[in-house]
Each structure stands twice: as structure tokens, then as C-alpha cells.
Amino acid sequence: MKYVQVVHKITQPMKEALDETPRRGGLYNWIFAFKGSIMSYKEIMDNLEDYDVVQINMAPADIIIAPLVAEKLKNSSTKLVLNNDYVVECWDMFRTHPYEYYTALRNADMMFGTVPVQASAMGNGAFTFSHPHFVDFLKHYGNRRDKDGVSNRIGYLMHQWEGKTYLPSLILHRLREERMEFTSVIYNYDKRKDLSARWARCMWDAFIPPLTYPDFVKEVSKDKLLLELCQYQTYGRTPVDFASLELPIVGSDRVESMRRLFPNMCCNPIDVRKLMNLIKRVLNDEEWLDEQMKYAYNKVDYYNYKNSTKRYKIALEMAEDNKNKHPKGYYVWNDTKKEFELR
């Protein structure tokens, strides 16, 4: 299958992300999974029909090109795939009129979100499946848990589009009150995005700004534990990477990959007492932790290139079959039956 992602403009951060080894999980992995390419609309506008699949991410900067691509493909066998991987709770940040968004989606031959609430919001016939990850490489990358190389540090992953650090601060403070000794660090930190920045220096020992993905992996490999306490519904690429690398993580049950890979290490992200108990068990019950890590390591192949492209192709075929059926609802993958089910 000849595949291309089309964007309004290829930026420097995009180029840097594409060149990383190992590469971070997420959208750009479709390019590698399908051995495809990424091009700006200006570069490819006259050659779109040379591809079997043209995919556009429904980011504000790229929504505007979807109708233009659709117009050029209207008499073509090339399929236009539109995806949205931006958390629904942040859609108010789009600065795109809702009518413009839905009008753009109407051009899709197949559309998908990475979690059910995204597919539900996108409209009837949308599919749900996560982006692929560089799982096979990460499993052999050599950054697995090494007791000799681990510091007495707990990390917290800040999502800049969420900006929440208040509850994690309280959790760590209360653990210290129980005479637990550790240092703390916030990853991906940007003071301008931190809603609790005015007292952050009192609560945290270190702040690490956004890193390249290889540097992030090296840094978190030193931690005893990472906290991924996102309060929004997202598929969550970091837990996928931690399962592949066999690194411990406690997180939010609103994150799809936490529920799938670390079901006993996630809970309501605002249940402070339960989170404290999980953290203490991870740090003190080595036998139990080993069981959880083995489970995650065995389950993480769900996100590898082979399984991800299989789901993608099944969705493409179903979307083609559904052209005149107009299904009411959205599709979610049933991993037991190995098929999409309408909800």
C-alpha cells in the first residue's frame, strides 16, 4: 500500500521527531509502519493520485487542506483518511468553527480517533484505534530496569495541554509525611503552561523541559517510578513505551494504554489515597511489581507496527463497504474477536 501523510507545512520539530532513534510513539509512526512518506500539500497537490492512501491529521493547521485534497481525489481510487488524536477535553483550543471541522470530516473515506470519545465526537462511522509504536525496537533497546542504575527519584510527566501539577504535588508531599524519602522531578515542564507554577519551586526538586525522545528514555530510566496522572481521556503513548522498556509507571485509568497494559497500576487520577497506596506497593512489593511488568511486556505487542497496520487496513475495508450503509454510531476494536464493533 502506497501511503503518504499530508500536512500544511513540514516544520523543524516534525523533521527532528522523524529523525529520532528510538522514535517516539504517535502519529508519525504510520509513515514508518507503511514505509510511506510525509509531504506538504504544496509539494504533493498534483500527485495525490499516485498514492493508495492519503492521511491528514485534523490539527487546526491542517484541517483547511482536507477539502482541497478531497476535491483533487473525487474521481480517484485513492482513499482520504482523516484522523484526530487531540484530547476531546481540549477541543475548545482548536480556534476552528465547529461547522468547518465537521465539513472537513465529511470529505473522509475513512476517519478515526485514538480513543472512543474522539470517534464518538467525530461522527457516525468513525473508527477507534491507537497510533502504532516502535515496540519491537524498544523491547531490545537496552533501557530495561537495572537496579544498579536507578536513583531514588519519582518522576511526573506533565502534559502541557493539561497543565496540572497540583494533585501530584500533594501526593508526593503526603508520601514524605509518611517518612518516605525520595527526590522528585517534573518532565516536559513549561512554567507558562503550569497552572500551579507560583508554588512549584516549593514542591518539586527538579524541572526538566521537553527532551528529544532518546534523551527522555535515558532520563526516565534512572527513576524508580513515573507518574502519568492525566485527567483527560487519551490513548497515552508513554505507558506503551514504559511497557516495552519494562519501566514502572503508575497512572490514570482515563488513559487507554494504562488500562490495557497496567490494569493494576492505574486508578482514578484524582483519588489521592488510592494513588498513594499504588505508589507504595510499586516501591515496596517487588514480586508483585515483577508480575505487573511481565503482564505489560506481553500485552504491549498490541501497539506494534504489524498489529496496528492490520487494524488500519480492516478499517479501510469496512469504511469502503459502509459507503452506502450510513452506520449510526462509531467503531471500537474488540481484541478478543479481532474485529471492529459498532457502538
For 315-332, write each residue's pLDDT tens digit. 999 999 988 788 899 999
The CA-CA-CA angle for residues 66, 67, 72, to 5°, reads 100
User: In terms of C-beta density within 10 A (0-12 exposed, 13-18 middle, 19 or more buried), how is residue 93 classed?
Assistant: exposed
Best CA proximity match to 218, nearest among 183, 174, 187, 263 = 187
Best CA proximity match to 30, nearest among 302, 300, 305 = 305
Q: How far apart are CA 102 and CA 204, in angstroms?
A: 42
Tell me the sheet residues that pair with 341.
Answer: 332
Q: Is 160 found in the same domain as 117?
A: no
DSSP strand pairing (339-342 vs 331-334) = antiparallel
pLDDT band at 144 (very low <50, low <70, confident <90, very high): low
pLDDT of residue 16: 85
Question: Is the model's pLDDT at 265 over the cut of 80?
Answer: yes
Q: Is 245 found in the same domain as 155?
A: yes
Q: Is 181 found in the same domain as 290?
A: yes
Q: Is 279 found in the same domain as 217?
A: yes
Give helix then strand counts, H and E, for the chain. Answer: 16, 14
Q: Is 275 found in the same domain as 157?
A: yes
Q: Is 320 found in the same domain as 177?
A: no
Q: How far apart are CA 255 and CA 253, in angstroms?
A: 5
- Domain of 328, CATH number, reads 3.40.50
Greatest distance between any 2 Cα atoms in the chain: 69
Cβ-contact 303, 240 below 8 angstroms: yes
Say whether the peptide bond before residue 209 is cis (omega within 30 degrees of 0).
Answer: no
Question: Is the model's pLDDT at 290 over the cut of 60?
Answer: yes
User: Which of 7-21, 36-50, 108-122, 278-292 is least confident?
Assistant: 7-21
pLDDT band at 145 (very low <50, low <70, confident <90, very high): low
pLDDT per residue over 218-261, tens digit each? 999 999 999 999 999 999 999 999 999 999 999 999 999 999 99
- Domain of 160, CATH number, reads 3.40.50.2000
Q: Is 53 found in the same domain as 7?
A: yes
pLDDT of residue 151: 84
Put the strands of the sheet holding 37-40 in their side by side order: 37-40, 3-7, 53-57, 79-84, 110-113, 127-128, 331-334, 339-342
The residue with cell 505489560 is: 296
**C-alpha cell recorded at residue 58:** 485534523
Question: Is the model's pLDDT at 10 over the cut of 80?
Answer: yes
Q: Is 230 found in the same domain as 84?
A: no
When pLDDT is averaged across residues 90-109 and rounded to a whole number, the result is 89
Most confident of 15-24, 115-124, 188-197: 115-124
Provide the number of structural domains found in the chain: 2
pLDDT band at 284 (very low <50, low <70, confident <90, very high): very high
- Domain interval for residue 170: 136-301
pLDDT of residue 22: 85
Q: How far apart are CA 59 and CA 101, in angstroms?
A: 10
Question: Is the model's pLDDT at 44 over the cut of 70?
Answer: yes
Q: Is 210 found in the same domain as 112?
A: no
